[in-house]
Structure 1
Amino acid sequence: MYLNNHSFYSLRYGTISEVELVDLAAKQGLACFALTDINNTSGCLSFIKNAQEKGIKPIVGVDFRNGNHQCYITLAKNNNGFLEINNFLSHHLHHKTSFPYHSPIFKDVITIYPFENVLELEKTTFSDNEYIGITHKNLNKLRFSPLSKLTHKLVMLHTVSFRDKQDFNTHRLLRAIDKNMLLSMLPKKEEGHPEHTFIEAKDLRLQFSQYPHLLSNAEHILKSCSIYFNFKKGKPSQNLTTLLGSEERDYKKLVALCKKGLPERYKDNITYAVKRRLVKELSLIRQQKYVAFFLINWKIIEYARSKDYFYVGRGSGANSIVAYLLRITDVDPIELDLYFERFMNLYRATPPDFDIDFSTWDREDVTRYIFEEFGSKAQVALLGAYVTFKHSGAVRELGKVFGLPKFEIDKLSKGRYNSSQLDNIKKTIIKYAQILHGKPNYTSIHAAGILISQHPTHYFSATNLPPKGFPTVQFDMHIAEDVGLYKFDILGQRGLGKIKDAIAIIKDNNPDITLPDIHNARQFFTDKKINQMISNADCIGCFYVESPAMRMLLRKLSVDNYLTLVAASSIIRPGVSKSGMMREYILRHKDPERAKQKGHPVLLDIMPDTYGVMVYQEDVIKVAHHYAGLDLGEADVLRRGMSGKYRSRQEFLMVKEKFEANCLARGEKIEIINEVWRQIESFAGYAFAKGHSASYAVESYQSLYLKCYFPLEYMVATVNNGGGFYRTETYLQEAKKKGAIIHPPCINKSQIKTIIKGNNIYLGFQHLQSFEKKNIVAIINERNNGLFSSLHNFIDRVPMSLEQFELLIRIEAFRSLNINQRQLLWEAHYKNNSASKVKNQKELFKVSINSFKLPEFYIPDFEKAMDQLEILNFSLYDPFILLKNPTTNTLLAADLKQYINKRIEIFGYLVTAKTTRTTNGKHMCFGTFLDRKGNWLDTVHFPPTLKKYPLEGKGVYRLIGNVVEEFNFLTIEVLKSERKHYRSDAKTSVFYNRKEGIDNKAVPTLLR
């Protein structure tokens, strides 16, 4: 009877989850139930899965609407009918066209027209699969309609969108949010009907008791519909099953590729261990039917290599020797003794992860290639994602709906209120924000996932067409895996863009240099200069090793080799640090005897290379299997649970109970079991697979090589790729330390991006705040006709507004003309006032401009620095010259060793600060500063200090605190901090004449 039911995937309309709908049906003892969300099929697969688990026959379709006007409801008679519905829906979503008022004639789809629409359309003929939906309020009108004679076409139609009055109120708020209007202004036509609530079956039968044929026709429709997807454990994959037309040909191709890769990767060192590992992997890959999965990844990589794209293959697949031989990854699993069972085992229900990183621009082309290569039958789509309401965001949306002023919305959103003092409107906002929290707001795109299916993607759902231009399914990764669709992860990463651009810049700036093969990172692992850089944490700009936390860890561990860097790449993750085992790892690393004294003998035996400390994701599998006696399937459930995906599932909780029971049965003490479990649990969502960490370390070494031997070019590439962890000025400061001379943008030398000539770095025009793009293009294009010789020459060739001229003059972009900034400003204003006001008309004659002998102006450095701060958002000058009251304090970071456990006063320029919470929820902060020589100062601001002396944005700070040392890493525990004032918060121009002085009153107002 329930033919038209909405979940909250009827976005900004419905209020009930698809799981709750199934539960409602189960409580009523219904044999079948339909889900027909408005203009999308996001919830269908999850609904089918949950209904099948509850023994209810699921039926799915779509409620097609233009705006809130209902056109018709469709129900899939079978899987092919679902494909038809998704094809039709997707076509209109992609082209952003309205749905026709007459449904197309489907083959395997039931179409139900609302009674009012049939009257309005004057529709009198109906195909076998078309029906007329009659609601309770239509019954009286039906009696007097000629349509009443079409008894075999009339069906009971009751819409379910809400459970109760609160749901309806929530619905009205969602509609107001969707329409971006005050709730009081929301038109009734944009709302659903308050009677669209879930009514018990017996009451529905009673309402239509005088029209039994309406009920029987509805029952007939439900019986004629059936859809099935396999969600059972051990289900076959829905991914593309073969690349070359048959499984046998695919396997022969995979074996041939591996044979080709063996001598390329291992040269003359193809050991028995290598051969044994390869045979083991190939056998299991074939048995698990993952051959096509590997070949597709290989084909993607082959395309990238043909285009000379830089990439990094990581994820659990990096534990695979087959992936190494196919060049999907550059990590040798034999060298690193990577755990095979993390990569794959007979109990693992999902294929290994291959996360393949490309530079941002290359990624777009690789994505295009995948759609063209594998999508000839519409089998490729981007994976979707849901953006849900968060409490603070919901408060903001509801605040606008109720017409609250911004400052009140801010207070509510940030929780700055006393609940007992809130008025009714604010209480209502807080109440409904809690109701909306976690509900889907709109669909989006998964950060990296691409689906390549055996079936057309519309077999599983409709697709949207976002601005990227690639079809995107309307469900997320969790339901994709549930139905057997496993994503290919193609990601964009700035670090690879830096490496690629750095090589091009090096070749341009050093044409006689021959670079080694950057892809062969192993040659860098034993480079003493590079390893010394790592040990000194001289890694600014380098992938994954430049953050303050990583810099601290590298120093504490004294990392000077590849394997320790691999460990560090995972230890830095929150899981290890949260468990307290990061510090324990450092202690054991520095004193291996401590591991024998403190470590559990079983854990030491399982993880000798990490001193018995769980560091990698596969350590969870090892401990669960070897310590707790779980089989590999159960261990993998635990590992997936620790990844944060399935922590609430019953299977995970059962494995947790078995973990404890097995350990107790083995005679382990409960306190030891609890401690091991605590360490495992802290990994949730954070631990890396060892192969993943190794892949990161490879890229780190590649970038470290470039910075070590070509630091200036590498810093230019870093700036041009949007930096990294820090702001642009930090990388320019680093370039200065390495010997660069940094120049502001120059009209005769600069490009859009930053460039380097020798050791001279010229900032790109793109760094000029508020400078128009059209003017950048005009300067560069006109310069192809010759350099600019004078201000008049520039003005004649590149017309622009006076405000834009002033930006260039103030940033010293005309310095190649050897004319003082102030003189240029005088001339620019005079020229502007003298110029013809007729636009777009060429001058018939060149009019000469009078030249005036102007006094010699002196411009202090601090004033130039202030101009740069305003125009570039950073200064190329020493920030300490900007201080209103210059300090005589000369203490530097290099002096701190003399003051360990002593109180000091030092001045530092704030680079970055990371706020975190203590175990009791109070805010504390880790600060990173530069001293006046450009060297690092690291600080800790505990809650009482941070509350009394908060960091107030970038600037120079006076820091008072105690110097503490841990593992040879020095930190200042700040007791007091104070941001020092600059000479002027708002720039005021003061002119000086070195010889005779100038009265400031004589300077035109525009120049002040």
Structure 2
Amino acid sequence: MGVFQCESDGAQRTLRKLKARSVRDLAIANAFFKPGPAMGGMAGAFVRRYRGEQAVTYLHPALQPILGPTQGVLIFQEQILRLAREIAGLTWAQADQLRRGMSHFGAQEMAALAGQFIAGCQRPPPTGPGFTPAQASTLWEQVMPFAGYGFNQGHATAYAEVSFRSAYLKAHYPAQFLCARLADYGGFHHPAVYMAEAVRLGLTVRPPHVNFSAEAFSLAEGRSGPVLFMGLGQVRDLRQAAITAICQERGAGKFSDLRDLLRRVALRPKEIEHLIRGGALDGLARSRASLLAEAQEFRHGSAGQMIFDFGRRAVPAETLRQRWDWETELLGPAGQRVDRSAGAGARKPAGACAPGRTVRFPRPVAPDRGRASARLDRRPRLFPGRRRHVRHRPRRQGGQVPGALATAAGAGALGWGWVGHVLAAGGGGGRSAKCKVQSAKRRERRFVSENRKSKIGKE
């Protein structure tokens, strides 16, 4: 998880099959995982030969110098060029055409190239290898599916070097590695997946905090080991100027309470509320609910005014479900992976779902973005006969989810939908949704108009 070019299920299966232990093994695994070798009909034989479970055999002795390093199986594009040039006697231009694959040429061109390749393989010694017609046809059948879908050796080796270094860093410096990976918006998977991996490795993951977090993910030393803090940039609707001011003021000393924060940093009411609900002020008061009540008092007064505790009414602490809802709304799906100060091992609330699940799209209802949210349910469909559904796919960047989604589906159940692109966190609003709906309507009108024209022309 997190290692370059080794994160997908297929790549991990390939590495386990080949028992990769070196950069060379990784380079071969990178090339072997591509469609070309798998379509050549020799995938199973290559795995057995590479692991020493089967003897290496060649279709013809002339192939040993070319296919020897890869156990008699086509793996790299360079081998295609050598076969076309040294075995079939084709020109370099023809060899490059073969490397590019059959998708670039018509049936007649490929038939002519196949005839030249098979005839060249049957050239008698010493000018040719002397293949039999059956051997030449078999070699062509192995080359043709591979051509156009292979991996060149230089590319595979460069990738393997990066993969090897990434694996080393994760094995010896897991906290620093995952922090850097998350600070760069993750990778192959959603950032929440890498946060779950950090928890699996024994790291503590915390929500953003005004006394510890930078703009992106950062690492701090805790009592029991490294602590991974989400970045302040993950908090919805928090301005860049506010993030910069918090980080600069923190250099003069940590914030002691909400009053100290508001006295030193100019924050808007919405930013204060989102910081509190997202957990960025945890530890500065008894609970987030009490901080929200205190912020409400400051809104009507001033942070410089003195407010006596005996004049305040006791505010009950928020529930775990409330924390879950707040963090999902303000931090996105990644907020579901944080270690909460109370009940870190609490069960996942009902209604939340994992990426990859297909669900019916409910009508979103949100008081803050009601008009834009209601408009989404009436979005035009280019294919009216199909069921409307949302395929949950992790978003690559940001990890932030609009409040309408958490409100409509409950605990971030629709945290990975296309709606996240319409109601972008911290911006967009109704105007973004309106523009996208109008664009879809224009596309639908063009689609219907073109179909009508084509029908009229046929009649």
3-state SS of 1:756 partner: strand
* Residue 116 (structure 2) pairs with residue 658 (structure 1): yes
Shift of 1:879: 9.9
Hey, what's the Cα distance between the residues in 2 that align with 1:591 and 1:760?
A: 44
> What residue identity is the alignment partner of 1:847?
Q
For structure 2, list consecutive stretches of 5 or more residues without a partner in the other structure: 125-129, 339-343, 358-385, 395-405, 413-459
Shift of 1:821: 0.3
Q: Which residue of 1 aligns with 2:77?
A: 617
State whether residues 743 and 760 of structure 1, in contact with CA within 8 Å, keep that contact through their aligned partners in structure 2.
Answer: yes
* Residue 153 (structure 2) pairs with residue 690 (structure 1): yes
Hey, what's the Cα distance between the residues in 2 that align with 1:724 and 1:812?
A: 25
3-state SS of 1:803 partner: helix
Aligned ranges 1:458-607 → 2 under 5 Å: 540-593=1-54, 595-596=56-57, 601-607=61-67
Task: Indicate which of 706, 709, 713 corresponds to 2:169.
Answer: 706
CA displacement, residues 473-505 of structure 1 (integer Å, 9 cap, x when unaligned): xxxxxxxxxxxxxxxxxxxxxxxxxxxxxxxxx
Q: Which residue of 1 aligns with 2:361?
A: none
Q: 1:655 to 1:588 in 2, by over 3 A?
A: same
Task: Indicate which of 225, 236, 241 corresponds to 1:769.
Answer: 236
Q: Which residue of 2 aligns with 1:881?
A: 347
3-state SS of 1:882 partner: coil
> What residue identity is the alignment partner of 2:392?
G
Task: Indicate which of 150, 168, 188 corresponds to 1:725.
Answer: 188
Q: 1:625 to 1:684 in 2, by over 3 A?
A: closer
Q: Which residue of 1 aligns with 2:329?
A: 870
Shift of 1:580: 4.0
Task: Indicate which of 946, 953, 960 corresponds to 2:392.
Answer: 953
CA displacement, residues 281-329 of structure 1 (integer Å, 9 cap, x when unaligned): xxxxxxxxxxxxxxxxxxxxxxxxxxxxxxxxxxxxxxxxxxxxxxxxx
* Residue 259 (structure 2) pairs with residue 792 (structure 1): yes
Shift of 1:744: 0.8
3-state SS of 2:237 partner: coil
3-state SS of 2:228 partner: strand
Q: 1:805 to 1:659 in 2, by over 3 A?
A: same
Q: Which residue of 1 aligns with 2:210?
A: 747
CA displacement, residues 206-249 of structure 1 (integer Å, 9 cap, x when unaligned): xxxxxxxxxxxxxxxxxxxxxxxxxxxxxxxxxxxxxxxxxxxx
Task: Indicate which of 808, 811, 817 corresponds to 2:275.
Answer: 808
Q: 1:599 to 1:670 in 2, by over 3 A?
A: closer
Q: 1:650 to 1:770 in 2, by over 3 A?
A: farther
Shift of 1:614: 0.6
3-state SS of 1:832 partner: helix
3-state SS of 2:409 partner: coil
Aligned ranges 1:233-272 → 2 under 5 Å: none
Q: Which residue of 1 aligns with 2:227?
A: 760
Q: Which residue of 2 aligns with 1:738?
A: 201
State whether residues 716 and 755 of structure 1, in contact with CA within 8 Å, keep that contact through their aligned partners in structure 2.
Answer: yes
Hey, what's the Cα distance between the residues in 1 that align with 2:345 and 2:151?
A: 40
> What residue identity is the alignment partner of 2:347?
I
State whether residues 606 and 623 of structure 1, in contact with CA within 8 Å, keep that contact through their aligned partners in structure 2.
Answer: yes
Q: Which residue of 2 aligns with 1:271?
A: none
Hey, what's the Cα distance between the residues in 2 that align with 1:854 and 1:882?
A: 32
CA displacement, residues 745-794 of structure 1 (integer Å, 9 cap, x when unaligned): 11111111211123111111122233222221222223234322221222
Shift of 1:613: 1.0
CA displacement, residues 807-846 of structure 1 (integer Å, 9 cap, x when unaligned): 10111101131431000111112221335xxxxxxx9xx4
State whether residues 178 and 198 of structure 2, in contact with CA within 8 Å, keep that contact through their aligned partners in structure 1.
Answer: yes
Q: Which residue of 2 aligns with 1:608?
A: 68
Q: Which residue of 1 aligns with 2:432?
A: none
Q: Which residue of 1 aligns with 2:400?
A: none
> What residue identity is the alignment partner of 2:293?
W
Hey, what's the Cα distance between the residues in 2 that align with 1:833 and 1:986?
A: 32
Hey, what's the Cα distance between the residues in 2 that align with 1:677 and 1:850?
A: 88
Q: 1:585 to 1:987 in 2, by over 3 A?
A: closer
Hey, what's the Cα distance between the residues in 2 that align with 1:695 and 1:668?
A: 36
3-state SS of 2:337 partner: coil
> What residue identity is the alignment partner of 2:75?
V
> What residue identity is the alignment partner of 1:586?
V
> What residue identity is the alignment partner of 1:663?
C
3-state SS of 1:607 partner: helix
State whether residues 883 and 983 of structure 1, in contact with CA within 8 Å, keep that contact through their aligned partners in structure 2.
Answer: no
Task: Indicate which of 382, 385, 409 corresponds to 1:985.
Answer: 409
State whether residues 865 and 876 of structure 1, in contact with CA within 8 Å, keep that contact through their aligned partners in structure 2.
Answer: no
State whether residues 274 and 330 of structure 2, in contact with CA within 8 Å, keep that contact through their aligned partners in structure 1.
Answer: yes
> What residue identity is the alignment partner of 2:118?
E
Q: 1:672 to 1:870 in 2, by over 3 A?
A: farther
Aligned ranges 1:816-965 → 2 under 5 Å: 816-835=283-302, 846-851=304-309, 852-855=311-314, 857-874=316-333, 875-877=336-338, 881-884=347-350, 910=354, 952-953=391-392
3-state SS of 1:612 partner: coil
3-state SS of 1:541 partner: coil
Q: 1:805 to 1:738 in 2, by over 3 A?
A: same
Hey, what's the Cα distance between the residues in 2 that align with 1:775 and 1:611?
A: 60
Q: Which structure carries more relative contact order (alpha carbon 8 Å, separation 6+)?
A: 2
State whether residues 600 and 612 of structure 1, in contact with CA within 8 Å, keep that contact through their aligned partners in structure 2.
Answer: no
Q: 1:580 to 1:775 in 2, by over 3 A?
A: farther
Shift of 1:685: 3.8
3-state SS of 1:760 partner: strand
Q: 1:669 to 1:807 in 2, by over 3 A?
A: farther
More helix by share: 2
For structure 1, list consecutive stretches of 5 or more residues without a partner in the other structure: 1-539, 836-842, 887-908, 914-946, 956-981, 989-1008
Q: 1:583 to 1:867 in 2, by over 3 A?
A: farther
> What residue identity is the alignment partner of 1:881?
R
CA displacement, residues 647-679 of structure 1 (integer Å, 9 cap, x when unaligned): 469998754431122235566565654443343
Q: 1:854 to 1:985 in 2, by over 3 A?
A: farther
3-state SS of 1:742 partner: strand
State whether residues 740 and 761 of structure 1, in contact with CA within 8 Å, keep that contact through their aligned partners in structure 2.
Answer: yes
Shift of 1:564: 1.7
TM-score calculated relative to the size of structure 2: 0.67
Alignment root-mean-square deviation, CA: 3.6
3-state SS of 2:168 partner: helix
Q: 1:572 to 1:594 in 2, by over 3 A?
A: same
CA displacement, residues 593-618 of structure 1 (integer Å, 9 cap, x when unaligned): 2543x855544553122221110011
State the identity %. 26
CA displacement, residues 245-298 of structure 1 (integer Å, 9 cap, x when unaligned): xxxxxxxxxxxxxxxxxxxxxxxxxxxxxxxxxxxxxxxxxxxxxxxxxxxxxx
Shift of 1:715: 0.7
> What residue identity is the alignment partner of 2:170?
K
3-state SS of 1:613 partner: coil
Hey, what's the Cα distance between the residues in 1 that align with 2:6 and 2:281?
A: 39
Hey, what's the Cα distance between the residues in 1 that align with 2:53 and 2:89?
A: 27
Task: Indicate which of 630, 637, 657 corresponds to 2:90.
Answer: 630
Hey, what's the Cα distance between the residues in 2 that align with 1:910 and 1:951?
A: 13
Aligned ranges 1:51-130 → 2 under 5 Å: none
State whether residues 569 and 697 of structure 1, in contact with CA within 8 Å, keep that contact through their aligned partners in structure 2.
Answer: yes
TM-score calculated relative to the size of structure 1: 0.32
Hey, what's the Cα distance between the residues in 1 that align with 2:351 and 2:247?
A: 42
Hey, what's the Cα distance between the residues in 1 that align with 2:60 and 2:321?
A: 61
